[in-house]
A and B are shown apart, each in its own frame.
Chain A
Amino acid sequence: MLQFLLKRKSIIVIALLFLIAVTLLARDMEKREGSGFFSPLIISLFSFPLEISTAFLKKVYRLGDEYIFLLNLRTENTLLKNIIDQIQLENQLLREAAAENKRLRELLAFKKKLPYPVVSAEIIGRDPSGWFQTILIDKGADDGIQRGLAVITPRGIAGKILEVYRASAKVLLLIDRNCALDIVVQRSRAKGILQGRSQDRCEVCFVGKTEDIQIGDVVVTSGLDEKIPRGFVAGEVVRVNKLASGYFQEIELRPAVDFAKLEEVFIVKK
């Protein structure tokens, strides 16, 4: 008998297991309320590792989601940064266009106010050395430019035409040492000769000691130059020095025009 059982050991064990399972199944299906004795035990045995593993897996999934989200976020961030850079560049260009628009409107308004015919010109070159202060403009004899004509900006007189070519001209700026302009002080009507000295200073020469000149006086062209009309602002007096010896005062002038920022000028065709 024993030998019979031992020979069919596996079948017996399997059958036994089936029997237990079916019994438990039948019992549980019959009893709807309560879970019996074994279920809580089994559940409690499995719940702890299940909880741990579930929590762990949830964290892993969350990390994966966050990682993917961050990747997408980085891509989106880069894209948005590129868009912002493009917009900023466009903004800068638009600001520059707006500033140019404003500047050109002012020039146009200024041009309309002038009682003389004028020709507008752009600066195409500057003096290659610091010893001389000249500029090249893109208008010449073909545009009716002549030697000696006044070159002005809305802020005041910038210089005069030094040399004329067919399609361009050289302008001698007010701040060049070789530039001499007949001027008059607007307040006291004292006359003198304006000469250039440096990038931001001029000197008014041959003004008698008895003349009333004060700091802050505005100096304008006198009109005595053949081709330069009167009334264009040359600058403002910043220093007056009456020396003990000599017949003349030393007068220093700050030019009205900012020569470092010149871009467009007008030539007055008197």
Chain B
Amino acid sequence: MGIPMGVYTFFVLTGFFLCCLQTHPLLPAAQGGIRPDFILILVVYFSSRAAVDMCLGAVVVSLLGYGLGMLSGAPSGLYAVTYLAVYVLLRELKRIIEMETLAFLAVLTGLCSLVKEALIWFILYFFSSTPQRAIAFKQMVLTQLLFTVLVAPIVLLVLHKGVEYTITGHAFFALLKHRMFTRTPQS
């Protein structure tokens, strides 16, 4: 049994909010404009939910990547490709590892950050007309990882609670609908 559509909507709306947050000029940034990757945290959490449909999940993740790419100076599709790659990797990993605890997800976020940055550097190095040097990768990757892992627990907790409330709310309205529109048998 899958999760209700409301949960997917919740993820999309949360992704929109996190994109705005990540782009906000007042968000503290490290040297070089490095900011925590909120969208990656969302992708990690989203991928860890077993009830998420593989195809629908991939669509949501791609949309998030395109959305972030629009706000960035990145080539179109760069973030869509990287987040999608992270999503597929995590879904495959979920078959062999349980991803239930938020603490484990926070650690997993750090690893995914490494993977994502390496993937971006690889794509830019081999396919861009102005390739990034390895030194740029080294300068960025640890700071990005640290920032992201630092905020991951809070974001994961908020996401977890949000999904719970969305499912509870959906169940409540489903029950209400059932009671309103189902005839009671006459005694």
Please give the residue numbers on chain A whose beta carbons come within 8 Å of chain B beta carbons, in ascending order.
123-136, 162, 170, 172, 176-178, 195, 198-199, 260
Contacts and interface: CB of A to CB of B under 8 A. Distances in A.
Interface stretch (B5-13, B18-26, B151-159): B18-26
Interface string B109-147: 000000000001000100001101000100110011000
B23 A128 contact: yes
Contacts of B143: 130
Contact of B23 (A131, A136, A195): A136
Interface in B1-45: 19, 22-25, 27, 29-35, 37, 39
Contact of A124 (B19, B25, B68): B25
Nearest to A177: B130
Contacts of A127: 23, 33, 71-73
Contact of B32 (A130, A136, A170, A177): A130
Secondary structure at the B interface, as helix, strand, loop or mixed, is loop
Contacts of B139: 198
Closest 4 CB pairs of A and B: A134-B73, A132-B73, A130-B34, A128-B22
A138 to B, nearest CB: 11
A128 B35 contact: yes
Contacts of A199: 31-33
B33 A133 contact: yes
A136 B31 contact: no
B31 A128 contact: no
A123 B72 contact: no
A132 B71 CA distance: 11
A125 B31 contact: no
Nearest to A180: B130
B74 interface: yes
Contact of B74 (A126, A132, A135, A136): A132
